[in-house]
Amino acid sequence: MRLYNTLARKKQEFTPANGNDVNMYVCGITAYDLCHIGHARSSVVFDVLFRLLRHKGYNVTFIRNFTDIDDKIINRANEVGKSAADIAKQFINEFYVDMDRLKVLRADVEPKCTEHIGDMIALTQRLIDKGHAYSTTSGDVYFKVRSFEGYGKLSGRNIDELESGARVDPGDEKLDPLDFALWKSAKPGEPFWESPWGQGRPGWHLECSAMSEKYAPLPLDIHGGGQDLSFPHHENEIAQSEADTGKPFANYWVHNGFVQINSEKMSKSLGNFFTIRDILDKFLPETLRYFLLTMHYRSPLDFSFEALEEAEKGIKRIYSAMAQADVELSKSSWKKSPFPEELTAELDQIETHWVEAMDDDMNTAGALGHVFSAVRLTGRIAEDKNLRKSEGGQVFFTRIKTDMANWGAVLGIFEREPTEFLTELRDNRAARAGIDPARIQQLLDDRKEARKNKDFDKSDAIRDELAAMNVEVKDTPQGATWDVA
RNA sequence: GGCGACAUAGCCAAGUGGUAAGGCAGAGGUCUGCAAAACCUCCAUUCUCCGGUUCAAAUCCGGAUGUCGCCUCCA
């Protein structure tokens, strides 16, 4: 497969360094607040990459860390009068709650910063020994950016230009304004760990280097994270790890694009963000996950509830086709009538296109387009009395179900029992519209009675009443069902 | 100021050299007691604009305009 590599600024054929083994490290959350949609996107994107690589037969080791000590956590802890450790623990738990709902799989290794302080101290010491870092009288340790030749290669920065724009904080003891902290001395009242440089805590960039090195042989095959992490976070990780080991840190750098609100970056500082909970109060988790996959992972994604409603229609249509296939397959006898080869060939094509799309830099949006081709094909066959009752039809519907299951396993969607999901979706939409399902059922029962007596005037009047409530009725051979219009 | 990304129909969106996927909305039709769903048909001679390279460009190059991001914590 091909992947866009930020380091090369183009798509490249993905080849793991070690045969069939793939090591993938993704920067996880800083645990100080509930996750927002941006976290959801990043998590879902790399979850799909994880699933896709495994699906392709690679032996994947997926590492996703938790930053459980840093300024934001300490600040939050002080605000609410808890310990930093308690805050981190709390929001790691909340992270799991959200991710489980979004069907984001657990990583193989989920290391926490505070459990690797010793590794980080050791790495810092090695960098000092090698002349890449220095300690100050106040007990801070800085990485000497100019001692690392490749600095700026990931983000395309020029070190001299960075220098000219660098902010100089008169309080610190950096030899060069570009130098960044590996170890920060503890201020009074802050959590700290003992180190050769006194009481303090690790700098943010350090943990990813230390933990990557610990849990995977370098270079990593894939290192991922949000686009904003490429500078300075990932640049600094490269400097630390490559200065330490002399080996490349990661071969493929994968960055996901941002979630935007009205074409503007969603961020805490702008205050225009939605948490995952905000969304899931109104929409099903699968709707959100599907929505996130309808755009290519590197493109900016504009979030709105209107867009989510549109995504909801899409996933409803896909599940409806799956439900239809189930209905057809529930029949017991199949006719020997002919089944056109072109239809089988069409499905062959769709399967091929789907794989090609996913292999081309994980094009989930393109792949979903092909899923709709399968949906339409299913509808066309189910529509034709001869086809749907034929043995070829049975083979076809079975195959569609298998395809949907395979595609869904990689995308992390389409894994529910269709009618169950559709009912849940309907009730979810009803709840949003303030519709009471029990009241609807009562009206449907009345209407059924009227229809039984061929009292179509009354029947239609009831349907009009329902329509006024934004409910539409469907008469099926199994009886009337309803949905939110 | 430096670096970078993006610009495709009413809306969302895929497409990185071979003649514009898909979804939503819309129009017509089949089906239906009437509907709904589903299915069928239609819906961009054209990809922000101007030049250039090429037999061939939405795709490559140069320029313009616009939008956004990074350079400070951030997925």
The pLDDT of residue A455 is: 86
Contacts of residue A98, Cβ cutoff 8 Å, sequence gap at least 6: A34, A35, A39, A40, A276, A277, A280
Strand B: which nucleotides have any atom within 7 A of a protein Cβ?
1-6, 12-16, 21-25, 32-40, 67-75
Place of tokens 């001299």: A160
Pure H helices in A175-234: 204-215
CA of A357 and C1' of B17: distance in angstroms?
19
- A77 Cβ neighbours under 8 A, 6+ residues apart: A83, A84, A86, A87
Here the ipTM equals 0.94
* A112: β partners: A66
Break chain A down into helix, strand, coil percent, rounded to 5.
50, 15, 30
The pLDDT tens digits for A437-475 are 889 989 998 998 888 888 888 888 888 888 888 898 888
Antiparallel, parallel or unpaired: β A59-64 and A21-26: parallel
- Residues with Cβ within 8 Å of residue A198, at least 6 apart in sequence: A139, A185, A186
Structure tokens at A83: 């310990």
Q: Spell out which residues of A between 148 and 167 contact strand B, using CB within 7 Å.
A: 155-158, 161-162, 165-167
What's the confidence (pLDDT) of residue A403?
A: 96
**Dihedral sign from CA coordinates of A476, A380, A294, A98:** positive
Give SS3 for A256. Answer: strand
**What pLDDT does A82 receive?**
95
CA A278 and chain centroid, separation: 17
A264 touches strand B (CB under 7 A): yes
Distance CA A462, CA A439 (A): 12
A268 touches strand B (CB under 7 A): yes
pLDDT at A170: 64
Helix (H) or strand (E) holding A19: none
Q: What is the Cα–Cα distance from A263 to A260, expressed in whole angstroms?
A: 5
Q: Given the DSSP bridges, would you call strands A133-135 and A10-13 parallel, antiparallel or unpaired? A: unpaired
Distance from CA(A364) to C1'(B69), angstroms, rounded: 23
User: What is the side-by-side order of every strand in the sheet holding A301-303?
Assistant: A264-265, A259-261, A301-303
Q: Protein A70 CA to nucleic acid B23 C1', in Å? A: 43
- Rounded Cα distance, A238 and A248, in Å: 8
| CA atoms of A45 and A105, how far apart (whole Å) | 11
Q: Give the residue ranges of DSSP H helices in A30-158.
A: 37-55, 71-80, 84-101, 117-129
pLDDT at A161: 80
Q: Is the CB of A72 under 7 A from strand B?
A: yes
Judge whether residue A97 contacts strand B, using its CB and a 7 Å cut-off.
no
Angular region, A29: left φ>0, alpha ψ -120 to 50, beta rest: beta
Q: What's residue A464's pLDDT?
A: 86
Nearest to A114 by CA among A73, A153, A145: A73
CA of A378 to C1' of B40 (A): 14
**Tens-digit pLDDT profile for chain A (485 aa)?**
999 999 888 889 999 999 999 999 999 999 999 999 999 999 999 999 999 999 999 999 999 999 999 999 999 999 999 999 999 999 999 999 999 999 999 999 999 999 999 999 999 999 999 999 999 999 999 999 999 988 988 988 888 888 876 767 666 788 888 899 999 999 999 999 999 999 999 999 999 999 999 999 999 999 999 998 998 999 999 999 999 999 999 999 999 999 998 888 888 777 788 999 999 999 999 999 999 999 999 999 999 999 999 999 999 999 999 999 999 999 888 999 899 998 999 999 999 999 999 999 999 999 999 999 999 999 999 999 899 999 999 999 999 999 999 999 999 999 999 999 999 999 999 999 999 988 998 999 899 888 888 888 888 888 888 888 889 888 887 788 899 98
Nearby residues of A15 by Cβ (< 8 Å), 6 or more positions away: none
**Proximity of residue A452 CB to strand B below 7 A:** no
Burial grade of A23 (CB within 10 A; 0-12, 13-18, 19 or more): buried
Closest nucleotide to A264: CA versus each C1': B68
The secondary structure of A304-373, three-state, reads CHHHHHHHHHHHHHHHHHHHHHHHHHCCCCCECCCCCHHHHHHHHHHHHHHHHHHHECCCHHHHHHHHHH
Q: Residues 171-190 of A near strand B (Cβ < 7 Å)? A: none
Q: What is the pLDDT of residue A171?
A: 66
| Strand B–CB A265 distance below 7 A | yes
What topology does CATH give the domain A2-279? Rossmann fold (3.40.50)
Distances (CA, A) of A2 to A239, A355, A362, A424: 26, 12, 8, 37
Burial of residue A263, with CB atoms counted within 10 A of its CB: 0-12 exposed, 13-18 middle, 19 or more buried? exposed
CA of A369 to C1' of B20 (A): 15
What 3-state DSSP class applies to A478?
coil
Locate the domains of chain A by residue range. 2-279, 310-420, 435-484
Give the tokens for residue A354.
Answer: 């789907």
- Separation in Å: B55 C1' and A65 CA: 54
pLDDT of residue A267: 81
For residue A294, say whether its CB is under 7 Å from any atom of strand B: yes
**Does the nearest atom of strand B lie within 7 Å of A481's Cβ?**
no
User: Widest CA span of chain A, in angstroms?
Assistant: 93
